[in-house]
């Protein structure tokens, strides 16, 4: 089965706003939603991690920042399904470092941004393989349907 990502319009807008606000710094956020085990991932919540440490082409999310973000998603009735991070001035593709350090078997979204426009791509990392995930933009209500 080819996995897909259903992205709520509200989640896309939140990612784009965060990227523009942080420019030229990197944004790191948790993605919340449901699905992914046998059907598409549905992402309808974004929790920006203000305390993520970014430097050059790398970011680090400590356990406390992750736990706070994951708790905030649960408070909204969503579960953690992956990450989104930006590549200011870069490509919407996993870097060598991303391939080595990002978690596998969850959504990995990358937002290429130039400060104005934002290009989003989604991937699923499985071991050494990077699998692109097609993104289906959907209205927020549709994405939240279990």
Residue 64 domain-assigned (yes or no): yes
Name the strand (E) or helix (H) holding 94: none
| pTM attached to this predicted model | 0.88
Q: Give the pLDDT confidence score for residue 61 in this predicted structure.
A: 78
pLDDT at 127 > cutoff 80 = no
Q: What is the mean pLDDT of residues 9-21?
A: 94
The answer to whether the Cα torsion of 56, 62, 64, 70 is positive or negative is positive
Residue 10 domain-assigned (yes or no): yes
Residue 142 domain-assigned (yes or no): no
More confidently predicted of 30 and 97: 30
Q: What is the mean pLDDT of residues 36-43?
A: 76
Residue-wise pLDDT tens digits, 46-80: 999 976 666 555 667 788 989 999 999 999 999 99
Strand-pair category, 53-55 with 41-48: unpaired
More confidently predicted of 113 and 58: 113
DSSP string, 21-71: HHTTS--EEEEEEEE-SSS-EEEEEEEE-TT-EEETTEEE--HHHHHHHHH
Q: What is the mean pLDDT of residues 134-139?
A: 92
Residue 146 domain-assigned (yes or no): no
Q: Give the pLDDT confidence score for residue 132 in this predicted structure.
A: 92
Burial class of 37 by CB neighbour count within 10 A (0 to 12, 13 to 18, 19+): exposed
Residue 73 domain-assigned (yes or no): yes
* CATH assignment of the domain containing 36: 3.40.140.10
Residue 56 domain-assigned (yes or no): yes
pLDDT at 95 > cutoff 70 = yes
pLDDT at 43 > cutoff 70 = yes
Domain that holds residue 123: 5-137
Q: Give the pLDDT confidence score for residue 53 in this predicted structure.
A: 62
Q: Give the pLDDT confidence score for residue 41 in this predicted structure.
A: 85
Q: How many domains does the chain have?
A: 1
Q: Give the pLDDT confidence score for residue 71 in this predicted structure.
A: 97
């Amino acid at each position: 089965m080819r996995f897909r990502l259903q992205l709520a319009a509200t989640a896309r807008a939140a990612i784009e706003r965060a990227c523009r606000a942080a420019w030229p710094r990197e944004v790191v956020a948790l993605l919340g939603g449901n699905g992914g085990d046998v059907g598409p991932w549905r992402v309808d919540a974004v929790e920006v991690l203000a305390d993520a440490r970014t430097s050059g082409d790398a970011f680090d999310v400590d356990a406390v920042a992750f736990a706070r973000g994951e708790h905030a998603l649960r408070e909204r009735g969503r579960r953690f399904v992956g990450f989104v991070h930006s590549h200011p001035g870069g490509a919407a593709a996993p870097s060598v470092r991303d391939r080595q350090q990002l978690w596998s078997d969850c959504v990995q979204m990358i937002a290429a941004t130039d400060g104005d426009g934002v290009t989003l791509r989604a991937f699923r990392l499985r071991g050494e393989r990077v699998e692109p995930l097609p993104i289906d933009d959907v209205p927020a209500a549709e994405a939240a349907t279990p």
